[in-house]
Amino acid sequence: MNASLGVRRALTLLAAAIRLTRQAAPAGTPFYVLMCVFSGLAPIVTAWCTKVLLDGLAVGGAWLTLLPWAVALAVAGLVTGLLPVVSEYLKQRLDRAVARLTMDRLYVAMDRLTGLARMEDPAFRDKLRLAQQTGRSGPGQLVDDGLGTVQAAVTVGGFLGTVLVINASMALIVLVAAVPALIAHLRLSRARAQMLWSIAPAERREVFYADLLASLDAAKELRLLGLGGLFRRRMLVELTAAHTAMEGQDRRDARVQGVLAGLTALVSAGGLVWSVWLAAQGSLSIGDVAMFIAAVGGVQSALQGLVVRLASAHHSMLLFDHYLEISSQEPDLPIPVSPQAVPPLRSGIELRDVWFRYAEDQPWVLRGVNLTIPHGRSLALVGLNGAGKSTIIKLLCRFYDPDRGTIRWDGVDLRHVPVDELRARIGAVFQDYMCYDLSAAENIGVGDVSCMDDRERVVAAAHRAGAHDIVAALPKGYDTLLSRMFFDEADRDDPETGVLLSGGQWQRLALARAFLRDRRDLMILDEPSSGLDAEAEYEVHSSLRRHRDGATSVLISHRLGAIRDANVIAVLADGKVAEIGTHDELMAASGEYARLFRLQASGYEEVVLP
């Protein structure tokens, strides 16, 4: 990423922003454009009316001949006063309409990402953050800057044209007083953009440390380990680095602007003396001098506005570029050209020589895994930390495609089926399950949005996960908001809002969420009971056993007692299936499984004290 854009890209971005704005507000956009053009013309009309009026007065013109110009001047003043109010109102409406459309498009595009690889790519995440930042106001701001530029150009062109009609040399002085300043301002604004871009990483780190210091999740460790001072100092180092760069730029700006302001004032003053001298000679009228004064001021302030607008447009374009890239991205997983339906599982799921690594520069996690999950049976995956158990589960859900080999659902390669149809057939509890800031009922209901409001099913799922008693005891039962954040003022005033659950209680809700999908063909449970107390674990596993009969399931647990009665147990090591069989077969084989099982069991054996 850098801070420069080619002219072509800039025009493409501007065109895209205009298209978006017109789509968001088809009626409001032309009206707003018109307002901007009027705003650009208003100072010229005012100056011209003033000139004619002064000239008329100077030659002793009749009251009735001057009256229309006086009225025109009054109307121009009125319009000049009203235009900013109307324009601002229209701009706000336009910005809101654009924000709704752009945010919708951004998240529709995010929905097209069915895999995880792109979401995990740090460069993509950076762009996404910028796209989110710009989504709300970026395109509107860009169009506004574009129109502001047009408005300033209309004012400059109008004044120059008018002054040219009066006196060509006068037009030249107006230009000489303003153009060098314009060029210098443009350079300064480009240097500022570069500087802002260069300090962006420091600012990101500063925000990271600031968020960390205020984070509730991190609060325990920060306090216990006394990390507040360390992270505060790091935050200040980043902030100071950013501020030093800003101050350097501010000094450069002040120096150049000071010199320019002096030069411009000198040229303008010289021009003024010259025009007064010409007026004294009778070559210029009083109105002409007034017009000249208005033109010098008007052109200078319009050009300054132009610079501000261009700088802002440049910044908006850089951000909007990321927005466009993200919102027009292609799906990350290949979409099957002639998709096959995902039939209800009949025979089973087969992993055939599956090789996988998370990125080309990372080591292989799976190196030729062959495994079958027969229909109606349960498969348990066992292995040391990092053996690749969760990775297999992610491949089964098609969050990634294998680099080599295939995964087949009743013989059909997962790559050839629509991913949403596949996922509709799967229920899962992941190791890193979600705790939603929603009500208890919704926390379970999101497991199957089609029956989110079916309280009977939600309660039944909670019963199965051993979560019912916990939820029923909450202040508002299933309708209790399980949240650390207040969604509105009513929540803030309600003492029953913000109920927090323990880790194990949350895990039961996550389980209930999965049980809501228990009519699906494949149930995946990755460490479903890691946070549960012994009693709850026993209950959950009994419940799982009862409901597992006849269902196809994959279970991961480091507590080997919990998986001992799975139909098949596969031990992963070195990216392969090292052992496979029933508990009894594996114990008889006295391999890795037997070693791990005995190791765990020894921890529960009674210790005989001497």
The verdict on 364 binding ligand ATP (CB under 6 A) reads no
Q: Is the Cβ of residue 363 or residue 495 nearer to ligand ATP in the bound state?
A: 363
The verdict on 480 binding ligand ATP (CB under 6 A) reads no
Distance, CA of 483 to CA of 492 (rounded, Å): 11
Q: Is the Cβ of residue 114 or residue 391 nearer to ligand ATP in the bound state?
A: 391
Only one of the segments 139-147, 304-312, 380-388, 447-455 lies at the binding site for ligand ATP (rule: CB under 6 A); that segment is 380-388
Listed in sequence order, the DSSP H helices in 167-281 are: 168-214, 216-225, 228-281
Of residues 385-404, which lie at the interface with ligand ATP (CB under 6 A)?
A: 385-391
Distance, CA of 193 to CA of 610 (rounded, Å): 76
Which tokens sit at 426?
């799967």
DSSP string, 571-599: EEETTEEEEEE-HHHHHHHTSHHHHHHHH
Q: Is the separation of the CB atoms in 569 and 586 below 8 Å?
A: yes
Of residues 416-445, which lie at the interface with ligand ATP (CB under 6 A)?
A: 431
* String marking each residue 198-237 x if it binds ligand ATP according to CB under 6 A: ----------------------------------------
List the one residue from 88, 104, 120, 469 that touches ligand ATP (CB under 6 A). Answer: 120
Q: Is the Cβ of residue 188 or residue 382 nearer to ligand ATP in the bound state?
A: 382
The verdict on 262 binding ligand ATP (CB under 6 A) reads no
Distance, CA of 392 to CA of 443 (rounded, Å): 26
Q: Which is nearest to 47 in space by CA: 278, 279, 299?
A: 299
What SS3 state is found at 152?
helix
* Smallest separation (angstroms) from ligand ATP to the CB of 370: 17
Q: Is the Cβ of residue 197 or residue 364 nearer to ligand ATP in the bound state?
A: 364
Of residues 47-76, which lie at the interface with ligand ATP (CB under 6 A)?
A: none
207-214, Cβ contacts within 8 angstroms, sequence gap of 24 or more: 209/234, 209/235, 209/238, 210/235
Distance, CA of 388 to CA of 364 (rounded, Å): 10
The verdict on 600 binding ligand ATP (CB under 6 A) reads no
Q: Is the Cβ of residue 309 or residue 389 nearer to ligand ATP in the bound state?
A: 389
The verdict on 574 binding ligand ATP (CB under 6 A) reads no
* Smallest separation (angstroms) from ligand ATP to the CB of 390: 3
Q: Which DSSP symbol is given to 342?
A: -
List the one residue from 287, 383, 447, 466 that touches ligand ATP (CB under 6 A). Answer: 383
List the one residue from 358, 364, 436, 538 that touches ligand ATP (CB under 6 A). Answer: 358
Q: Is the Cβ of residue 32 or residue 433 nearer to ligand ATP in the bound state?
A: 433
Q: Is the Cβ of residue 439 or residue 557 nearer to ligand ATP in the bound state?
A: 557
The verdict on 118 binding ligand ATP (CB under 6 A) reads no
Dihedral, CA atoms, 299, 300, 305, 311, nearest 10 degrees?
120
Only one of the segments 7-15, 196-204, 270-278, 378-386 lies at the binding site for ligand ATP (rule: CB under 6 A); that segment is 378-386
Extract the runs of DSSP E, i.e. beta strands, from 469-599.
522-526, 552-556, 568-573, 576-581
Please provide residue 607's backbone torsions phi and psi, each rounded to the nearest 5 degrees.
-90, 125
The verdict on 365 binding ligand ATP (CB under 6 A) reads yes
Which tokens sit at 549?
């009969």
What SS3 state is found at 244?
helix
Which parts of this chain interact with ligand ATP (CB under 6 A)? 120, 358, 362, 365, 383, 385-391, 431
